[in-house]
Amino acid sequence: MNENKKIHFEITTPERVVFSDEVDSVSLPTKMGQITVLPNHIPLISSIESGEVITRKEGKENYLAISGGLAEVKGDNQVVVLADTAEHFEEIDEARAEEARKRAEDLLKEKREDAEDYAAVAAKLQRELARLRVARRHRSQKGTVIDN
């Protein structure tokens, strides 16, 4: 078996293809916890949570913030994520994300009688918290070298 295999990884949102490249591995935030997909992974379909996606290629890591969606790991070393939203950490405006987080927290504090409305606001808060975590953790990095 060829140990130098790559995974074709793609993240698509309704607006655009956010990421498409051959990578060594990809880590995804799923409903059951963080998973890492390596070449020759078994086929899998999973829901995606708000959080951080990490791709690794030739000793460098790339970070993206993601919120909601589905991931499919195909048997031919392909991983496709259909995401509600996704963005590279460099694209996140930390000040705007912090303002959005505060607005979402304020909305959550208001009395909500509609469970659907409450769930939508809670999801928005989770999305903004994920964006902030990714931006703050990696704002000074442009591709970290991993010590192997």
Q: What is the pLDDT of residues 113-140, one digit of tens each?
A: 677 776 776 777 677 777 767 776 766 5
Residue 146 has pLDDT above 50, yes or no: no
Can you give the pLDDT at residue 10? 97
Can you give the pLDDT at residue 137? 73
Q: What is the CATH number of domain 1-148?
A: 2.60.15.10
Domain ranges, ordered by start, for the chain:
1-148
The pTM of the full predicted model, rounded to 2 decimals, is 0.71
CA 133 to the chain's CA centroid: 11
* Bridge partners, 125 (sequence order): none
Q: What is the mean pLDDT of residues 18-34?
A: 95
Beta-carbon contacts of residue 127 (< 8 Å; ≥ 6 apart): 50, 67, 68, 84, 85
Residue 18 has pLDDT above 80, yes or no: yes
Q: What is the pLDDT of residues 56-102, one digit of tens each?
A: 999 999 899 998 899 999 989 999 999 998 988 777 777 777 777 77
Residue 11 has pLDDT above 70, yes or no: yes
